[in-house]
Structure 1
Amino acid sequence: MAAPAARGCSLSGLLPAQTSLEYALLDAVTQQEKDGLVFQYLQKVDGWDQDLALPEFPAGLEWLNTEEPISVYKDLCGKVVVLDFFTYCCINCIHLLPDLHALEHTYSDKDGLLIVGVHSAKFPNEKALDNVRSAVLRYNITHPVVNDAEASLWQELEVSCWPTLVILGPRGNMLFSLIGEGHRDKLFLYTSIALKYYKEKGQIRDHKIGIKLYKDSLPPSPLLFPGKVTVDDVTNRLVIADTGHHRILVIGKNGQIQYSIGGPNPGRKDGIFSESSFNSPQGVAMMNNIIYVADTENHLIRKVDLEAERVSTVAGIGIQGADREGGARGEQQAISSPWDVALGRSGSEAQKDDILWIAMAGTHQIWALLLDSGKLPKKNELKKGTCLRFAGSGNEENRNNAYPHKAGFAQPSGLSVASEEPWSCLFVADSESSTVRSVSLTDGAVKHLVGGERDPMNLFAFGDVDGVGISAKLQHPLGVAWDRRRSLLYVADSYNHKIKVVDPKTKSCTTLAGTGDTSNGVSCSFTESAFNEPGGLCIGENGRLLYVADTNNHQIKVLDLEARTVSVLPVFSSEHAVVDGPLLAEQQKTAPRLPKSAPRVELSLVTARPGQTLHFRLRLDLPAGAKLTEGAPSCWFLTAEDNEWLLEGQIPSGDIENISNQPTIALQIPSDCLAVKAVISISIFLYYCSADSSACMMKGILFRQPLQITNTQPGCGAPVELRYVL
């Protein structure tokens, strides 16, 4: 991925010598020959300090994963340093990270190696430190990273592409540069020989750099960077790619987890759910009890069978492929960074969805996996299981063309199928060109819808402008969702932190929800709601609800398209229940956790006898004019710590539908109960909107009721009032 750079202190001084080295390496046969050539090269360039000395990091830059800013000539002195010039949206930069992780595991700072990420942003959104911090966490980057927001170091060295690696010697002297991805062997060769060369010269120091990882300070969360979401209205379930936890969640629409598959650590294993693993899964598509998953960093398409409770691989070989044509059976076909998947049909005669469309971000193409024998436009009959390119040349471009193989995409990241006439197309969120495109399912023609500009080579035509066609501007959109009921397309305009809506008839693009602010607050209204790099979205409830994976806020948000309100979907289970929205806790044995800020109300001792039914009446006074949030039902939950037998046969939870009715919670003391003291906890989870619907609030309240159960006392029959004024 190329970008313009200003003139300055240059890497070009290395070019003649390094080019000669690389030509010589092509003729080398043995490892000993290769090592010798690199050793000779280092002897040659080692004395060029004056011409190839790295300038000091500019003062005032923001650093991540370090205790304090790093100095080239203080902290890096005595180290072989690999500078990784990257921008976090770039798929090529993401592809390079496994190589850097492997290098870090091979050589440590004690060996004299240090990797430093230099983040030089492409998009304005990527300049913000909080967004870089989120990316560092998302991609598990554990080495120091400097936010070179204005690209000052990039320009001084005349870096021209993302990613670019620059290898430094222990005096800050530049030794090598590697442009683009796919240089793992050279990276290891150059680094290992440089460490050996300077160690023999006595210039390597084993001092440590103060590392302070951002991820170590994060609180636990039920979701971590959720990438995509899909819904099955037939079974009333949502599927979430919980990308940061490397797992797939299947949840009911009340938020309770039904299946958690994979996680919490990355891996690559098929089999039963309890043994299966994923690596940063993104796209999900569901048909009946089958879920297809774009297992992005494993370079696989996985199949999750909910009935058999097994995971299998249907495409990919587990390593990044460079093939831009395909045509092999799925499990034998190498693929590259699949980012989204969508189910569709091979023709009007097909009775069911028999094609899995794949946004192949790594090769900038759209691929297809045949789930049954069938045809693609302008293709002969294909066998079941075939995996091949459908559209895109593989060149990183914003090029539309009537011939699908001559079109060009730039990191396609979101898909949605409109199978009905007159549309019959696949909508594509093409992130790096900041456009939304369509691919005809009839003849494969690739057409522009909104965003970008006419020059197919310009991938910098981005912005935040509502408009028509090319006059509309987006910033790195990652998701699209087709609303069949209204014939509208919803777009996750990720780096503008907004949800936009496109009318494909008129090509008009307008903001539906989001202010552009990245706060984590929840407002009831579309116009005041906030998102942070939303990555995926889907339509549910027959077109009434729009579910949004609000990636950097670690939430699923629910947009009611009729009431025009926004709420947060809860995600909870009996094993890991955290308040992040309304909780419906039917049939759970473990109470969800209340926020630390939740008030505790200690009630007076109540005496009861065996067999008696106690009644607790809720009286919760809302602020004037406020009302319960319809889209986020409030609820109560009973627990009796160390005395759970008191709740056997009871109803442990329930909804609060109307506070003014003062709902009652009943608890019957077991008839065979012996005299005992106990404490009942009643947790209340309340969601309400202000009188003007400008904001939604969540309030957690804990009531603790001590009990004295005795055979000698008649017990009190009057209801116990649980009162709290909000």
Structure 2
Amino acid sequence: MESSALDYVAQACMDLTEALQAASNDADKEILINNHIKQVWSTVPPIDDFKKNLDWVNVMEPISLSTHCSEKIVVLDFWTYCCINCYHVLPDLAHLEELHSVENGLVVIGVHCGKFKNEKESGNILSAIQRYNIHHPVINDSESSMWDALGIKCWPTLLILGPGNKPIFVLTGEGHREELDLYVDSALHYFDSRISNLPLPIEPLKIVKGKEGILHFPSKVSLNPFYRGRNEEPFMAISDSGNHRIVLTDCSGLVLKIVGGTEPGFKDGKLDEAKFNSPQGLCWMSSNVLAVCDTNNHTVRAIHLDEGTVEVLAGTGHQGAHGDFGGKCLGLQPLSSPWDVLLYTTPDLDMSVRPLLPPPPPPPGQVAAEKELEGKEETKEKEKKDEKRRVLLIACAGSHQIWALFLDTTIWWKYKTFTEGTCVCVAGSGAEAARNSAYPHTAAFAQPSGLALKTGLNPEVFVADSESSSIRRIGLSTGQVSTLCGGDRNPLNLFAFGDVDDIGVEAKFQHPLGVAYSESNKTLYVADSYNHKIKKVEVGPQKVTSLNPSKIETADPVKFNEPSGLSVTADGKYLYIADTNNHSVKILNLVKNVCQEFKVRMPDTKFVEPENLILYKNDLFVNRKCGNLIIYFNVSLDSDIRNVKFTPGAPQDWMVCVRDENNKDVTLDDFEFVGCSYKGAKLPGRVEMKIKQRTDKTHYRLYLSFHTALCDNSICFSHAFTIRSTILVRDSVKMVESYKITCKVNPVNRNEKN
């Protein structure tokens, strides 16, 4: 199929949109859509199938349009995972897939055509699919062969195919959920007799957590600048984006508090009930208040640790409309994918307003009195001018703008006064470009994703402008927007990326997502995400240098994987890095240029032996060379009690737990259960476990726990108890050792025997 055919479909869709807007009722709309489908489907040829030997995700075998999809309605989503607009389309596709299954005739296929070199690697696409929780098939069209063949012009583009793989609708950009639902539903009804209900070889990828299962795609980190070394104070906040939560740690990495859950949601209230959806940027507003960019919920939230609550600071929970410059208050003002946030404190700007003509001279005799009064007024005016106002600056990647939430009534640029609680765009036209300007609202950004503050006489904020692969700067006294380094002199060229250490625009980045500024050494640090590097920028000469640190244990170079968040200590000696696709946080010693893991871990819970513990007098043995241990066990009722029986049909639950000499649960770590599980619901029971590999441990503790259901003549009740024994690990015992354990229980006087 030639690109001109797709141009014909696109024009027909534009005409259809105009006709639908003029239609007066649903019946007329249905006729218009059916006529459109009939005309287009009978006119255009089918598109060519996917090229062979391309990598696929979420499938058991490569999908063929001609073999698998010729009797389906197919939605092809041309996307690239760096693109915020593509990111916004994913919920629309998920909604569509909830309405229509593959068996009902709909197939959604993501055609990934990477913009950046890094995005063409299948492993990186796989990480993005995990991060964004995509379940439909995705093909890595790394050379954009289908894109070129069809003449696709922008990300995202949604191409809807009818039976025979003929294009019938095309939608470009984001914000088409209603049209997408309407067109797919109409196509399924129109082609009802041609639609197959056969399944496809789709197998959604299982999400793989990090090594210890604590962090999953951490995106941003923020050191607490108010930290004073107290045990109860958090040292660091981490946006655990893949787990939809915020993790607070002490200086050693020990988890103090987790806010949010592992499933996405949108809920304020108590800390243990709050829900987030892919949180990103973080900023400490005080020692106990943390601002969070709740990106997928399009809000900025505040975590109040002292009060134990979470609340919305700005945003409605729904994406803001394109072209909105704001001005509403707090939770009434919609935002679009806030990605980073920082706190800026400033005196009122432009306070030196003077009238054009001098006032008339005062009457005689009043000069001395007025001088005294004037002195007092000047003192008050100076105090008022020096008083700091708090402004929360927000990088809204979705609208390509920088917004501000004024926490205090503030006189801002150009004598403009914003009252407390006002949320408004302060820089960026909303167009996606890298345009500089002395007038902040005529400047343009390309997906701003990271913010860093430089204070002093000429304060400014540095912006990681990811889609232009540049670092931008905004003068906080004037609003002037300029480029510090990277990118291109042509503001419309968003493809000027690479990996070059140089000066200013001659330096090159690849989709940087994070920045951190050190006041102590006047250096800006950049998470050059798609180059998997950390770079530093000497702000004065605009010189860019790669750090290339080595591991602290060895001389091997550190391998980052799409790092996206940075936070530097006040003394400028240590840089904390959210190493996103490695599911970890790292510490870079900037003095020695060596790096080590910041080991985020849960606090060790002190093991307490269960109640109703019965000690089994005989030791059990297992051969250290992968020996087998078989245990037969049963429970009987003590003959001293009468009228008590096991409840007929009720489960008699049991579970095996093995702990090592440090009381760590190693049931599944050190042992393999042969032909059975380590828990069950029937008695008598049998369990066979085998040491996975030769061990140097000398002994384990075995806990065999029971939860039985019993009845007497009048009532049913439960009774729980645990048998503890020692497993001795030896070389001299048989490769298969077996034991029988029987316990008599007395739930009346708790006099159990074995």
Deviations 1:344-396 (A, max 9, x none): 11337565671111001011010001122223222422211110011111111
Which residues in structure 2 correspond to 1:162-177 (within 5 Å)?
162-177=155-170
- Residues 18 and 601 (structure 1), Cα distance of their counterparts in 2 relative to 1, 3 Å cut: same
Q: Choose which of 35, 38, 42 in structure 2 pairs with 1:40.
A: 35
- Residues 281 and 70 (structure 1), Cα distance of their counterparts in 2 relative to 1, 3 Å cut: same
1:335 is matched with 335
> Does residue 490 of the first structure (1) align with residue 525 of the second (2)?
yes
Give the deviation of 1:541 after TM superposition. 5.7
SS in structure 2 of the partner of residue 501 of structure 1: strand
Structure 1 contact 525–565 (Cα < 8 Å) conserved: no
- Residues 491 and 524 (structure 1), Cα distance of their counterparts in 2 relative to 1, 3 Å cut: farther
Cα RMSD of the aligned pairs, angstroms, is 2.5
- Residues 18 and 525 (structure 1), Cα distance of their counterparts in 2 relative to 1, 3 Å cut: same
Q: Choose which of 126, 139, 153 in structure 1 pairs with 2:132.
A: 139
- Residues 456 and 572 (structure 1), Cα distance of their counterparts in 2 relative to 1, 3 Å cut: same
Structure 1 contact 343–353 (Cα < 8 Å) conserved: no
Larger radius of gyration: 2
1:478 is matched with 513
Give the deviation of 1:702 after TM superposition. 8.0
Length-normalised TM-score, structure 1: 0.77
Q: Choose which of 137, 141, 147 in structure 2 pairs with 1:148.
A: 141
SS in structure 1 of the partner of residue 74 of structure 2: strand
- Residues 9 and 443 (structure 1), Cα distance of their counterparts in 2 relative to 1, 3 Å cut: same
Amino acid paired to 1:261:
V
2:292 is matched with 293
- Residues 563 and 204 (structure 1), Cα distance of their counterparts in 2 relative to 1, 3 Å cut: same
Structure 1 contact 498–514 (Cα < 8 Å) conserved: no
Give the deviation of 1:160 after TM superposition. 0.1
- Residues 589 and 255 (structure 1), Cα distance of their counterparts in 2 relative to 1, 3 Å cut: farther
Structure 2 contact 389–409 (Cα < 8 Å) conserved: no
Gaps of 5+ in 2: 230-234, 349-384, 610-623, 627-659, 666-694, 702-754
- Residues 525 and 445 (structure 1), Cα distance of their counterparts in 2 relative to 1, 3 Å cut: farther
- Residues 298 and 705 (structure 1), Cα distance of their counterparts in 2 relative to 1, 3 Å cut: same
Which residues in structure 2 correspond to 1:343-354 (within 5 Å)?
343-347=343-347, 354=390
Gaps of 5+ in 1: 1-5, 516-521, 575-584, 592-599, 603-636, 643-700, 708-726
Structure 1 contact 525–564 (Cα < 8 Å) conserved: no
Structure 1 contact 377–444 (Cα < 8 Å) conserved: yes
Structure 2 contact 389–410 (Cα < 8 Å) conserved: no
SS in structure 2 of the partner of residue 267 of structure 1: coil
Q: Choose which of 255, 258, 280 in structure 2 pairs with 1:282.
A: 280
Deviations 1:108-152 (A, max 9, x none): 112100100000011011000001111111111100000000000
- Residues 590 and 465 (structure 1), Cα distance of their counterparts in 2 relative to 1, 3 Å cut: farther
Amino acid paired to 2:326:
G
Deviations 1:685-711 (A, max 9, x none): xxxxxxxxxxxxxxxx9855579xxxx
Amino acid paired to 2:223:
V
Give me the whole-angstrom Cα distance separating, in 2, the residues matched to 1:288 and 1:572: 22
SS in structure 2 of the partner of residue 552 of structure 1: helix
Amino acid paired to 1:362:
G
- Residues 379 and 79 (structure 1), Cα distance of their counterparts in 2 relative to 1, 3 Å cut: farther
Which residues in structure 2 correspond to 1:386-465 (within 5 Å)?
386-421=422-457, 423-465=458-500
Q: Choose which of 222, 229, 233 in structure 2 pairs with 1:230.
A: 222
1:544 is matched with 573
Which residues in structure 2 correspond to 1:248-647 (within 5 Å)?
248-286=246-284, 287-322=286-321, 323-347=323-347, 354-421=390-457, 423-513=458-548, 524=553, 528-540=557-569, 542-574=571-603, 585=604, 589=607, 639-640=662-663
Deviations 1:623-661 (A, max 9, x none): xxxxxxxxxxxxxx973369xxxxxxxxxxxxxxxxxxx
Give me the whole-angstrom Cα distance separating, in 2, the residues matched to 1:317 and 1:127: 35
2:106 is matched with 113
Give me the whole-angstrom Cα distance separating, in 1, the residues matched to 2:389 and 2:280: 21
2:381 is matched with none
Structure 2 contact 225–287 (Cα < 8 Å) conserved: no
SS in structure 1 of the partner of residue 18 of structure 2: helix
SS in structure 1 of the partner of residue 89 of structure 2: helix
1:669 is matched with none
1:694 is matched with none
Give the deviation of 1:296 after TM superposition. 0.4
Q: Percent identity?
A: 43
- Residues 601 and 445 (structure 1), Cα distance of their counterparts in 2 relative to 1, 3 Å cut: farther
SS in structure 1 of the partner of residue 316 of structure 2: coil
Which residues in structure 2 correspond to 1:68-147 (within 5 Å)?
68-147=61-140
Amino acid paired to 1:254:
S
Give me the whole-angstrom Cα distance separating, in 2, the residues matched to 1:33 and 1:264: 46
How many pairs were matched up?
582
Task: Report the more deviating stretch, 553-562 or 506-515.
Answer: 506-515
Structure 1 contact 357–369 (Cα < 8 Å) conserved: yes
Deviations 1:246-292 (A, max 9, x none): 00011112111111011200000000011100000000001210000
Structure 2 contact 316–331 (Cα < 8 Å) conserved: yes
- Residues 454 and 212 (structure 1), Cα distance of their counterparts in 2 relative to 1, 3 Å cut: same
Deviations 1:161-191 (A, max 9, x none): 0000000012111111001111111111110
Structure 2 contact 247–259 (Cα < 8 Å) conserved: yes
Deviations 1:469-517 (A, max 9, x none): 01100000000000111000000000000000001100000001369xx
Structure 2 contact 209–215 (Cα < 8 Å) conserved: no
1:631 is matched with none
Task: Report the more deviating stretch, 151-160 or 69-78.
Answer: 69-78
- Residues 525 and 234 (structure 1), Cα distance of their counterparts in 2 relative to 1, 3 Å cut: farther
Structure 1 contact 341–358 (Cα < 8 Å) conserved: yes
Amino acid paired to 2:294:
D
